[in-house]
């Protein structure tokens, strides 16, 4: 390697070679979007294996192992209960505040965890990206599958808490609706993760901002208070209620705590966000395919 100041190339003899390029493809070139999706499907075993192996190894370092997957949101819930429930009394007018809080925190943590690990998946696995040629979106997708897998015990624990802690709620058929809600939420997480993964692979500084944005989002998602109590302006309220995470939480609360069928508007807003962001995220991520792990 030579530094900047060096060499003006002197003219050398040049031999033109006529080469048949028909069967050649450019190394590392980005396939078109549909081919890309097909490639991803071909790598599904990689995605699932990656997700599964890492769920198992994720907490091996801790003494309590996988229990931390549960203990973490429980302690979080306890903290917020002490501060907002007992000290600040934001609980006023909320039926079953403990359940309300638990659902909010568990569901939000699923999103914040999934978005964070999706966003960091390219950076954290730079060495794998450099070593192997596979469609890069496999990594953010794998991260989200992993988060979804580890969310299963989390959601079960959440439901258990709701059943056990007074005022105990009854199990109804509506509880099944939690599944599609969380799946839609997961698609939304993936979309956001894909967008952020490309941004972070270029500008790493964004990882430092991410926790703040997520925290602001959490405070804005009616986890330990209700919107209706603090926002009086009807248009502002309608606008705030477009928040996709608020809608997931709202749907789950309706099903689990209040035994009422969630409004179709909530589903529509959630589905629109999930599919829209996923589509945008996929295309945006695919456009950067050639740039990941390089340079």
Partner 1 sequence: MDAAEKEIFIEGHPCVVVDSVRMRYRVASTASSDADADTPKPRFLRRAVNKPNMVTVHALNELSLVVERGESVGIIGRNGSGKSTLMKIISGQSKPTSGAVYASSTPIMLGVNAALVQDLSGDQNVVLGCLAMGMSRAEVDRKFNSIVELSGLEKSIHLPMKSYSSGMASRLRFAIAASVDPEILLVDEALNTGDAQFGDRSKRRMDELREQAGCVFVVSHSLDTIKDMCTRVVWLDKGDLIMDGEPGAAIKAYQDFTRHLSKGNNISAAKILEDAKANLVATEVRGRSSRRSRG
Distance CA 8, CA 167 (A): 81
The token pair that represents 243 in the structure block: 């928040």
Cα 209 to chain centroid, rounded = 16
Q: Which of 32, 34, 60, 232 binds partner 1 (CB under 8 A)?
A: 60
Site size with partner 1, rule: CB under 8 A: 49
Applying CB under 8 A, does 21 fall inside the site for partner 1?
A: yes
Residue count of the chain: 295
| E strand or H helix at 105 | helix 97-124
Q: Which stretch binds partner 1 (CB under 8 A): 53-61, 109-117, 163-171, 252-260?
A: 53-61
Q: Which of 38, 41, 42, 216 binds partner 1 (CB under 8 A)?
A: 42
Applying CB under 8 A, does 128 fall inside the site for partner 1?
A: yes
Alpha-carbon radius of gyration of the chain: 24
For the purposes of burial, counting CB atoms within 10 Å of the CB of 46, is it exposed (0-12), middle (13-18) or buried (19 or more)?
middle
Applying CB under 8 A, does 2 fall inside the site for partner 1?
A: yes
Distance CA 185, CA 195 (A): 16
Residue 33 vs 49, nearer CB to partner 1 = 49
Applying CB under 8 A, does 8 fall inside the site for partner 1?
A: no
We find the least distance from the C-beta atom of residue 5 to partner 1, in angstroms, to be 10
Applying CB under 8 A, does 53 fall inside the site for partner 1?
A: yes
Residue 39: C-alpha distances to residues 91, 125, 133, 240, 279 (Å): 50, 19, 11, 38, 17
Applying CB under 8 A, does 45 fall inside the site for partner 1?
A: yes
Applying CB under 8 A, does 63 fall inside the site for partner 1?
A: no
Q: Which of 32, 86, 127, 264 binds partner 1 (CB under 8 A)?
A: 127
Residues 163/169/174/175 CA torsion (nearest 10 deg): -10
Applying CB under 8 A, does 19 fall inside the site for partner 1?
A: yes
Verify cis geometry, omega within 30 degrees of 0, for the bond prior to 260.
Answer: no
By CB under 8 A, the residues from 131 to 150 that bind partner 1 are 131-134
Residue 145 vs 278, nearer CB to partner 1 = 145
Binding residues vs partner 1 (CB under 8 A):
1-4, 6-7, 9-10, 12-28, 42-43, 45-46, 49-50, 53-54, 57-58, 60, 125, 127-128, 130-134, 290-291, 293-295
């Amino acid at each position: 390697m030579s530094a900047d100041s060096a060499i003006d190339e002197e003219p050398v003899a040049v031999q033109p070679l006529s080469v048949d390029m028909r069967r050649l493809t450019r190394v590392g070139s980005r396939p078109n979007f549909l081919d890309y999706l097909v490639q991803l499907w071909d790598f599904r075993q990689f995605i699932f294996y990656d997700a599964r192996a890492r769920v198992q190894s994720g907490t091996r370092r801790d003494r309590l192992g996988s229990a931390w997957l549960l203990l973490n949101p429980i302690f979080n819930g306890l903290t917020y209960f002490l501060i907002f429930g007992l000290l600040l009394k934001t609980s006023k007018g909320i039926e079953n505040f403990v359940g309300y809080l638990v659902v909010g925190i568990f569901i939000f943590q699923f999103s914040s965890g999934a978005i964070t690990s999706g966003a960091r998946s390219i950076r954290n696995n730079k060495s794998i990206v450099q070593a192997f040629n596979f469609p890069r979106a496999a990594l953010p997708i794998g991260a989200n599958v992993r988060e979804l897998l580890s969310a299963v015990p989390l959601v079960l624990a959440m439901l258990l808490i709701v059943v056990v802690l007074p005022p105990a709620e009854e199990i109804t058929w509506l509880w099944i609706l939690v599944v599609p809600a969380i799946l839609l939420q997961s698609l939304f997480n993936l979309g956001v993760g894909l967008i952020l993964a490309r941004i972070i692979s270029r500008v790493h500084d964004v990882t430092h901002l991410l926790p703040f944005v997520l925290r602001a989002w959490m405070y804005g998602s009616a986890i330990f208070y209700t919107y209706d109590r603090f926002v009086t302006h009807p248009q502002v309220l309608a606008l705030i209620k477009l928040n996709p995470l608020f809608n997931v939480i709202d749907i789950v609360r309706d099903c689990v705590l209040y035994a009422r069928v969630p409004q179709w508007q909530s589903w529509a807003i959630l589905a629109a966000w999930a599919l829209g962001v996923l589509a945008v995220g996929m295309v945006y991520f695919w456009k950067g395919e050639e740039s990941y792990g390089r340079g």
